[in-house]
Amino acid sequence: MTARAAVWLLCAASLGCGGGEAGERHEDEHEHEAHGDEHEADEGHGEAEEGVLVIDRSMLRDLRLTTSPVEARAGGEMVTALAELQTDPDRSTDVAPLLEARIERVLVNVGDRVEEGQPLAHVVSLGAAPLRADVSAASARVQLAESTLARRRALAEERIVPAREVQESEAELAQARAALAAASGAARGVRGGPRGQVVLTSPRAGIVLARDAIVGAVVEPGHVLFRVADISELWVVAHVFERDAVRIERGAPVRVSLAARPGAALDASVTRVGTQVDTRSRTLDIVTALSNADGTLRPGMAATASIAIGERDDRLLAVPSGALQRLAEGWVVFVPRGEGRFEAREVGRGRDFGGEVEIVSGLTEGESVVVDGAFLLKAEAERAQGGGDEHHHH
């Protein structure tokens, strides 16, 4: 049985279960068959709209259907690869203490939005006080060297001390200033109150993606306590086999499908092509930048990337893969035809593009098809078809 024959049967069965008027038609058909009047029975079927599935309004509310338009895509050869969302390294920063420290207070948690300079944690470090003392001592030496130089210059002008002592004072001041710069560099970021208290602050505005800070814990210098990132733009990193990756160019169209958003896809383009092949997987990383202005996407989400390779002048039609359903011996999509009415349209299936399927016949650009709930409509169609076959055998 073809898909077209199947959808004709589901139409007849749907009308047969649709109410009193449809029930009267079935009784008339049985009566005409009993009297051998097949012509009038055929007229009863002819009143049905062929290939249309009718869903009761109460059932329609439970199905929670969503639709998607049939869209034109860049044609040519495509390659599909697994991918994941990652932060742009230039938009992510780790926060760690410069010295061994004990965590005294934690002010933020994973998922919190922070501003540049916002305190993240208070820590206490035994090494902080000596560093600040070194800075104070170096600063005092600079002040002493400056006053000594000023005094000797005045005495030299009156010829009380030789010019050589002025030069020695200038050298001592230079050395003192160098020592102060070194001490200040070692204590950079170490600030706060007495007892070695230090406030760790966020170096940028963004989201706290990771936290490894527990009150009371003692951590080594450089131990990352927080990771803060700007996620308004994320990377889609696709792992493409080397035989295909070498044919991908910057700017190539990319269609990104996300496991967290079934039935939806995002258009982008290749921004980076990796330069080193992973020797274990024999893949090359292909990077696509994806806008995330609304902040709904998260690093680590699974994705599938369909990337154009080679010539891309041709165009093709595509629908989300969830819209395509197997019915009888063919593929169909369900096209809305008004409230509670769906045309089971037989289509020609082409290539898979990771979350989308090429349509070679049966649809035109701009038409709407059911995505979420298409499988349930298929089940209703098969149930209706079964009912129609049972009626036919009576």
Contact between 70 and 315 under an 8 Å Cβ cutoff? The reply is no
Query: pLDDT confidence of 203, banded at 50, 70, 90?
Result: very high
Tens digits of per-residue pLDDT, 83-106?
999 999 999 999 998 888 899 999
Per-domain residue ranges for the chain?
3-72+317-393, 76-88+230-312, 95-125+190-225, 127-188
Cα three-residue angle 111-119-293, rounded to 5 degrees: 40
189: alpha, beta or left? (left if phi > 0; alpha if psi -120 to 50): left
Q: What is the pLDDT of residue 237?
A: 96
pTM (two decimals)? 0.51
**Where does 95-125+190-225 sit in CATH, by number?**
2.40.50.100
Contact between 110 and 209 under an 8 Å Cβ cutoff? The reply is yes
The single-letter DSSP state of residue 278 is: B
Q: Is the pLDDT score of 20 beyond 50? A: no
Query: pLDDT confidence of 9, banded at 50, 70, 90?
Result: very low
Tens digits of per-residue pLDDT, 327-382?
877 899 999 998 889 999 999 988 777 678 888 899 999 899 999 889 999 888 88
Q: How many CB atoms lie within 10 A of CB 162?
A: 12
d(CA 374, CA 263): 11
The rounded mean pLDDT for the chain is 80
Contact between 116 and 202 under an 8 Å Cβ cutoff? The reply is yes
Q: How many CB atoms lie within 10 A of CB 373?
A: 21
Q: Is the pLDDT score of 81 beyond 50? A: yes
CATH topology of domain 127-188: Helix Hairpins (1.10.287)
Q: What is the pLDDT of residue 47?
A: 40
Give the pair of three-digit tokens for residue 123: 């820590």
CATH of 76-88+230-312, one of 1.10.3720.10, 3.40.50.720, 1.10.10.10, 2.40.30.170: 2.40.30.170
Q: Is the pLDDT score of 394 beyond 70? A: no
Can you give 345-383 as a three-state secondary structure string?
EEEEEEEECCCEEEEEECCCCCCEEECCCHHHHHHHHHH
% of the chain with per-residue pLDDT over 70: 78
CATH of 3-72+317-393, one of 2.40.30.160, 2.40.420.20, 2.60.40.420, 3.40.50.970: 2.40.420.20
